[in-house]
Amino acid sequence: MAEKSHTEYFRYRIRRDASGALSWFRENWREKRWFRWFAILLGAALALWIVAWALLARDLPDADMLLEYEPPLPTMVRGIDGDIVYSYARERRVQLQYPDFPQQLIEAYLAAEDKTFFTHGGIDMGGLAGAVIDYVSKLGSGERAVGGSTITQQVAKNILLSNEYSITRKLKEMMLARRIESALTKQQILELYLNEIPLGRRSFGVQAASRAYFDKDVDDLELHEMAFLAILPKAPERYGRKQYEGMAIERRNFVLDQMVDNGFVSSAEAATAKAQPLGLKPMREQYSTADAGYFFEEVRRNLMEDFGETADDGRNSVYAGGLWVRTSLDPELQSAARDALRGGMMRYHGNRGWPGPVATIDPDNGDLIQQLRSSNLGISYDDWRVGVVTERSGGSATIGLTDGESYPLSGFPDALNVGDVVAVEQAGNGYRLRSVPEVSGGFVAMAPLTGRVLAMQGGFDSRLSDFNRATQADRQPGSTIKPFVYAAGLDHGMTPATQVPDQTFCFYQGARLGEKCFRNFGGGGGGVHTMRWGLEQSRNLMTVHIAMDAGMPNVIKTFERVGIGSYEPYPAFALGAGDTTVLKMVSAYSALANHGRQNPPTLIDYVQDRHGKVIWRADKRACQRCNMAEWDGQAMPRPGLSGRQVLDPRTAYQVVHMLRGVVTRGTAVRLRSLNLPLFGKTGTTTGPTNAWFVGGSPDIIAGMYLGFDQPRNMGGWVQGGNTAAPIFKDFVEQTRSHWTDEPFVAPAGVRMVRIDRRSGKRVFDGTPSDEPLAAIIWEAFKPDTEPPRRTRADAIEAKRREFLDLIRAGQRARQDAAFGDAFGEPSDFVEEQGGIY
């Protein structure tokens, strides 16, 4: 009862007071005129506020979203050693936390932008009044009024609103600023501001601007540099330019004075800072420490396929997601691959003259130098630069460079025209024309045990052409495909010692294609030789015989299993007539070096989001017990084998063992001087149109080709051994520390047997030596496939023939001596042609 009486009492008081207030309002409304006007104005203001709220505030974003706001950040790329080597960025952005900002830098921005920041509630009424007066005074003049925005209002505009210049946007900004102040602390607001404010040179935030203007991190900045960064929000695209240097210094000094007035620095400190020049650094590419444009573009394509390009494609997009990408790029191997491939192109080009411009710009489309800047064409070779011909008159010409300067050009042909984009090199007070080789090519280096691509070069320079010849150019591999034909033969009953005819082979390909007869490169042939000899000397006829004996369908299946390509079962494909890429060939050879186990080629090891969480990983193997809290005392847990088995391990090793002979005494013999356990195969396509080499060691496989983008004859002298193999040799010599002397290890099930290198028959007396042309060698056989022991009788017969040959040679010597006594010394009219077996 007491509680009910209490409630009724309060209801009574509310009714009584409300009735009294209403009576008071009616009495004043009737009797006082000023009260009526005041009430009308107050009601109108309230109505306007309700309308403004309905029209403006209802669609404003929620300020609480700033608590989870993630700014667009570039994707950072790391190399194999973890160092940053590149970034995918259309804007410079680096996100820091509030404690990371130097206190003096914060004070510089407060002095320049909002000295009452820590005391106002989001709106500075004094600044707002000044802005209103300035706006009214400039109405109709076309000039933009002073904004009068606080730092909180700028955060609202930069992150949650547009940059529209209107009263409506200003009102929204004010409303939103009040919301932000109630949702975030002052430190959180400053953190957003200092990370997001646009400061010119495509930089957003003070850390990105510090790198862009001074090539420093924020904690390394000096006072005068901090004051300069603080002036940029007013006119970011003006104060950073050379022609406005005086204005920038004046504004910087004003900020220093404001810092003194606010007690942030002393007068002496400000005076010392004022005496300093601006000290701006020229703008340069950020985080590009490796010249690996083709590699980075391939990574970018892979990332965009998985995560999208912009923020609209998802929160982990390439250009906004702030990803951290760990790649397999080895900068040292990459530089060597670039230089070796370019060296091969330059050697081939020789003195062939100027092949033409690298690009052409239409003079009718405006300023040529500006068009050149927009094209992003460039070159990184010696001290060459890319320029555009701006004038041409008779024997004189002028070249314009991307820095806006023009110079006289010398050493140019009559075919040079205005608008031609060319490579030039400084010569005296001008520049002289240089030739970028027309021939091109591709290069890939890979780790066979993991499939990680260590280096990739897809042409002379990615800034001249982004067409990646290592992954996108379909080329005939020529004889580099032969090891996989031999692998098919080994899988179908042959051995490295099998005798194969080196004789003409004709094949009827049907009514449409008719009969096809094959021949060796350079002609010749005849006799019967070991499979090893055929591979070492790259004999076409022997390869076709092996392919037909093994069955072309089986050969094609072998090509498909190792990822080279899928072709029709015609013998021409056994000689490399089908198209493939450098990357595919290197991957296939990696399977040979890895005992027939192939890992798919990868350029990315793993991807982390902006918070460090791994969201993609190349190695997806499960590892049981790897995440135990404590060791259980059992054997160390290990993940399973990676990749898939595409070849018999024994077959793969037999092929590698034969390919060692290609380097020791075969078509790649020029690599023998490297004194490394290398294997490999050269290749030359019909024409010749392409020159190839693929090979390497147990740890690194590299492959390359040289040829024209529109295939044509490179010249009859061109072969894989004299054109492509030297590129590989240069690559190894530049990276010698990466190559070990560890030999290829035979897998279980391989028997090493002594044989006669020429005949392939088993040898029981004598020891194999390291001599390239040793008569006795170790050969790899699968169990029960080695030559039988009865070959001892054959060895005795061979020794008997050797003795007979010696007797006959002695008889000929005596006859020659008698001939000389009668007629004088015989002339050397016969030149014996030796050969390497």
**Of 294, 248, 297, whose CA–CA distance to 274 is shortest?**
248
Rg for the chain (alpha carbons), in Å? 39
The band of 435, judged by pLDDT with boundaries at 50, 70 and 90, is very high
Average pLDDT rounded to a whole number, residues 424-435: 94
> Which pairing describes strands 75-78 and 324-327: parallel, antiparallel, or unpaired?
parallel
Quote the tokens at residue 620: 């997806």
Cα 545 to Cα 312, 552, 574, 575, 692, distances in angstroms: 58, 10, 10, 11, 23
Query: Which of 315-319, 332-336, 628-632 is modeled with the greatest confidence?
Result: 332-336
Q: Do the beta carbons of residue 302 and residue 150 sit within 8 Å?
A: no
Judged by phi (left if over 0) then psi (alpha if -120 to 50, else beta), residue 222 lies in beta
Query: 22: how many CB neighbours lie within 10 A of its CB?
Result: 10
Residue 508 confidence class, pLDDT cut points 50, 70, 90: confident
DSSP-derived letter for residue 438 is S
Q: What is the pLDDT of residues 373-403, one digit of tens each?
A: 888 899 999 999 999 999 999 889 999 998 8
Instruction: Judge residue 388's burial from the number of C-beta atoms within 10 Å of its C-beta, 0-12 exposed, 13-18 middle, 19 or more buried.
Output: buried
State whether the Cα torsion 256-257-261-266 is positive or negative.
positive
pLDDT over 90, % of the chain: 59
Whether the predicted pLDDT of 39 surpasses 80? no
Q: Give CA–CA dist 352/683, Å, rounded.
A: 24
Predicted local confidence at residue 176, as pLDDT: 76
Residue pointed to by tokens 């609202």: 156
pLDDT, averaged across the chain: 85
Give 72's pLDDT tier (boundaries 50, 70, 90).
Answer: confident
Question: How many Å apart are CA 606 and CA 610, to the nearest integer?
Answer: 13
Tens of pLDDT along 174-224?
A: 767 777 777 788 898 898 889 888 888 888 899 989 988 998 899 999 999
Bridge partner list, 447: 452
Q: Which residues on adjacent β-strands are paired with residue 643? A: none
> Does 837 have pLDDT greater than 70?
no
Q: What is the pLDDT of residues 243-300, one digit of tens each?
A: 888 999 999 999 999 999 999 999 999 999 999 999 888 776 655 678 999 999 999 9
| 632: confidence class by pLDDT, cuts 50, 70, 90 | confident
What the block records as the tokens of 737 is 């520390």
Q: Give tens-digit pLDDT for 509-540.
A: 777 767 777 777 666 677 899 999 999 999 99
Residue that is written with structure tokens 């147990």 in the block: 698
Structure confidence at residue 132 (pLDDT):
46
pLDDT digits over 583-608, tens only?
999 999 999 999 999 999 999 999 99
As a whole-number percent, the residues of the chain with pLDDT over 70 amount to: 83
Q: Is the pLDDT of residue 70 over 90?
A: no
**Counts for the chain of helices (H) and strands (E), in that order:** 22, 26
C-alpha angle 358-359-362 in degrees, rounded to nearest 5: 155
Residue 836's pLDDT band, with cuts at 50, 70 and 90, is very low
pLDDT at 144 over 50: no
The DSSP-derived string for 304-368 is HHHH-SSGGG-TT-TTTB--EEEE---HHHHHHHHHHHHHHHHHHHTT------SEE--GGGS-H
- What confidence tens digit (pLDDT) does each residue in 544-563 have? 999 999 999 999 999 999 99
Please report the sign of the dihedral spanned by the C-alpha atoms of residue 411, residue 416, residue 418, residue 423.
negative
Highest-scoring range by mean pLDDT, 27-36, 626-635, 733-742:
733-742
SS3 state at 12? helix
Is 460 in contact with 437 (CB distance < 8 Å)? Answer: yes
Please compute, for residue 128, the number of CA atoms within 13 A of its CA located in the half-sphere on the CB side. Answer: 15
Query: Looking at residue 827, what is its pLDDT?
Result: 33
pLDDT at residue number 556: 97
What is the band of 14 on the pLDDT scale with cuts at 50, 70, 90? low
pLDDT score of 822: 42
Active site residue 113: yes
Q: Which of 317, 465, 479, 587 is catalytic?
A: 479
Mean pLDDT of 18-37: 70
- Mean pLDDT, rounded, for 732-746: 96
Which segment, 61-70, 664-673, 812-821, is predicted with the most confidence on average?
Answer: 664-673
Residue in 298, 574, 563 with CA at minimum distance from that of residue 442: 298
CB under 8 A, 24+ apart: contacts of 512-518? 513/570, 516/570, 516/571, 516/572, 518/544, 518/571, 518/575
pLDDT tens, position by position, 88-143: 988 888 888 899 999 999 999 999 888 888 888 767 655 554 444 544 444 444 44
What pLDDT score was predicted for residue 159?
65
pLDDT band (50, 70, 90) for residue 794: low
Q: What is the mean pLDDT of residues 650-675?
A: 96
**Which residues lie below 8 Å from residue 3, measured CB to CB, with a gap of 6+?**
none
- The mean per-residue pLDDT over the stretch 618-647 comes to 86
User: Which residue did the predictor score with more confidence, 605 or 235?
Assistant: 605
What is the number of residues in the chain? 837
The active-site residue out of 113, 191, 536, 779 is 113
For the ranges 18-32, 117-131, 619-633, the maximum mean pLDDT occurs at: 619-633
Q: What is each CA distance from 748 to 27, 562, 769, in whole angstroms?
A: 111, 21, 24
Calculate the CA 530 to chain-centre distance: 44
Residue 722 CB neighbours (<10 A): 15
